[in-house]
A and B are shown apart, each in its own frame.
Chain A
């Protein structure tokens, strides 16, 4: 396939130009240092901008689900609402709690935000827009995302408040349980793809997404991943840790200002991260839709920049998550744990075995119809 047509909207040219320009004028060490700093700044900027967009989108979509207008005062259609909120949250006073463990109280939000940042770095946003590409990509993501729960537990503990404490314990139990399911669902696809590296995974899904390639097994894994990912972010029907009617606001009751902002930001970004991992692993990531044999069609699809594909697929999944959030009533804690330990986990374990059988006996779509997919 000929790929040397112009793709002016991709970042590839900009990145290569920057790299060659830097390399021509200074030594390797400084080039790497400058590039690392640039990548970090870019990621941080993307992190906060995406969070602001998500908050606005969530409030608007929620409003439409509930037949309201949502934010519509600040700017046209309330478009500057989340910017105003961010400014407000940055200027708010940080309230100190009596008889709380000061060090842990201030350290807790950082655990949340660092865990979510570390995961964020591993997401492939587009062609060459990929900061960390370990050959253990999937394992890395599941590993570092588990750091966040320590922040939640410490926040609940150090607030010296019963509501926070109960919220933190609930959140801990929920996260630890559902993390298992999410990990196993990803492992099912690792069996299918034969690699843990995100870039290789995307390359392998050029003509057939993993969602369709492993048919039954993949679909089950996809649904389980979406459910457990949704539960991990403490949202939707699974938002017991911050059930406002019982627990005021759960583990972040005592936080104000920037620190509350950290929790808030991390929650929204975790939703985005879950959606984007699902996109990458199941829906082909930034790879445009490609069909065997239709070269013209494929080329036209490549004219749409890869990051547009990525954000479109992720956006669909985020919309799905919001839809679920505002459609189902909240679960009780025993129902929540039953769902995980008595249904999702056994289904998941069987599903992995089924996937192994599918792969070994050559029943994947790419094996069955080699010319088509």
Chain B
């Protein structure tokens, strides 16, 4: 029962702040609302017992990505000062389109998931197992994707330095 109550609170937080994040006119507020959404997602992971994922979500999104966002916003000149609301007819069309998209995706997800889902008993995963799985080369082990991502990150770092470098 307690888990359900917590789930509904978290779900409400995520839903409300996602809407606020896209409707807010000041970009720094949007970033803050987005942060709340990400923290709410981390809360869901915690509720499921995925402690590692929870910590990584907080560290990467709250500690890394959001700080980067806020830094970038702070460096821009008066962000969101001249933001105007869209025309009314365009807003209505956008609203209808997004609702249709939501209904379409929701239907597909609900239709497919309800046929195949199983209840997993939340069990604490040992961090050693996660490490071995990430670093292993066997079946269901992820060394290759891990290295691919690190190469991708390295490439983007080199690219960022190339752009930012003084000539």
Instruction: List A contacts of B127 (CB < 8 A).
Output: 135-136, 139, 195-196
Which of B28-36, B99-107, B132-140, B152-160 contacts its partner?
B28-36
Which of B11-19, B52-60, B109-117 contacts its partner?
B52-60
Complex formed: what's the CA distance from A76 to B59 in Å? 45
Instruction: List B contacts of A103 (CB < 8 A).
Output: 29
Instruction: Tell which of B2, B32, B63 touches A147, judged by Cβ atoms closer than 8 Å.
Output: B63
Q: Mark B5-44, 1 if CB is under 8 A from A, else 0.
A: 0000000000000000000001011001001000000000
Interface residues of A, CB < 8 Å — how many?
31
The answer on a CB contact under 8 Å between B1 and A29 is yes
The answer on a CB contact under 8 Å between B59 and A157 is no
Instruction: Tell which of A144, A157, A196 touches B58, judged by Cβ atoms closer than 8 Å.
Output: A144
Q: Does A153 belong to the interface (CB within 8 Å)?
A: yes
* Interface size of B as a range: 20 to 34
Q: In the complex, what's the smallest C-beta–C-beta distance from B140 to chain A, in angstroms?
A: 21
Which residue of chain B is the closest to A146 with respect to CB atoms?
A: B63
Instruction: Tell which of B28, B32, B62 touches A146, judged by Cβ atoms closer than 8 Å.
Output: B62
Q: Chain A binding site: helix, strand, loop or mixed by DSSP?
A: helix
The answer on a CB contact under 8 Å between B28 and A150 is no
Q: Does A89 belong to the interface (CB within 8 Å)?
A: no
The answer on a CB contact under 8 Å between A147 and B58 is yes
The answer on a CB contact under 8 Å between A104 and B32 is yes
The answer on a CB contact under 8 Å between A150 and B74 is no
Instruction: List B contacts of A219 (CB < 8 A).
Output: none
The answer on a CB contact under 8 Å between A135 and B58 is no
Complex formed: what's the CA distance from A33 to B79 in Å? 45
Contacts A134-B51, A136-B52: A143 and B63 contacting too (C-beta < 8 A)? yes
The total of Cβ contacts below 8 Å across the A-B interface reads 78
Q: Mark A168-204, 1 if CB is under 8 A from B, else 0.
A: 1100100010010000000000000001100000000
A residues 116-159 touching B (CB-CB < 8 Å): 134-136, 139-140, 142-144, 146-147, 149-150, 153-154, 156-157
Complex formed: what's the CA distance from A29 to B55 in Å? 27
Q: Does B66 belong to the interface (CB within 8 Å)?
A: yes
Q: Does B146 belong to the interface (CB within 8 Å)?
A: no
Instruction: List A contacts of B128 (CB < 8 A).
Output: 195
Which residue of chain A is the closest to B24 with respect to CB atoms?
A: A103
Instruction: List B contacts of A135 (CB < 8 A).
Output: 51, 124, 126-127
Contacts A103-B29, A104-B32, A135-B126: A176 and B67 contacting too (C-beta < 8 A)? yes
Which residue of chain A is the closest to B66 with respect to CB atoms?
A: A150
Contacts A29-B1, A103-B29: A139 and B67 contacting too (C-beta < 8 A)? no
Contacts A107-B32, A147-B58: A153 and B51 contacting too (C-beta < 8 A)? no
The answer on a CB contact under 8 Å between B51 and A140 is yes
Q: Does A101 belong to the interface (CB within 8 Å)?
A: yes
The answer on a CB contact under 8 Å between A153 and B63 is no
Complex formed: what's the CA distance from A249 to B1 in Å? 48
Instruction: List A contacts of B54 (CB < 8 A).
Output: 140
Q: In the complex, what's the smallest C-beta–C-beta distance from A362 to chain B, in angstroms?
A: 19
Instruction: List B contacts of A168 (CB < 8 A).
Output: 74
Q: Does A112 belong to the interface (CB within 8 Å)?
A: no
Which residue of chain B is the closest to A135 with respect to CB atoms?
A: B127
The answer on a CB contact under 8 Å between B74 and A169 is yes
Complex formed: what's the CA distance from A195 to B1 in Å? 33
Q: In the complex, what's the smallest C-beta–C-beta distance from B69 to chain A, in angstroms?
A: 10
The answer on a CB contact under 8 Å between A139 and B52 is yes
Q: Mark B63-96, 1 if CB is under 8 A from A, else 0.
A: 1101100110010000000000000000000000
Complex formed: what's the CA distance from A165 to B2 in Å? 42
Complex formed: what's the CA distance from A157 to B127 in Å? 38
Q: In the complex, what's the smallest C-beta–C-beta distance from A322 to chain B, in angstroms?
A: 28
Contacts A101-B29, A104-B28, A135-B126: A143 and B59 contacting too (C-beta < 8 A)? yes
- Apart from A136-B55, A140-B54, 18 more pairs, CB < 8 Å: A101-B26, A104-B32, A134-B51, A135-B124, A139-B56, A139-B127, A143-B56, A143-B58, A143-B62, A144-B55, A147-B62, A150-B66, A153-B67, A153-B71, A154-B32, A157-B70, A165-B74, A195-B128
- A interface residues (Cβ-Cβ under 8 A, vs B): 29, 32-33, 101, 103-104, 107, 134-136, 139-140, 142-144, 146-147, 149-150, 153-154, 156-157, 165, 168-169, 172, 176, 179, 195-196
Some 10 contacts from A to B, beta carbons below 8 A apart, are: A32-B2, A135-B51, A143-B63, A144-B55, A146-B62, A146-B64, A150-B62, A165-B74, A169-B74, A195-B127
In the A-B complex, list the 3 residue pairs whose CB atoms are closest, starting with the nearest.
A146-B63, A143-B59, A143-B58
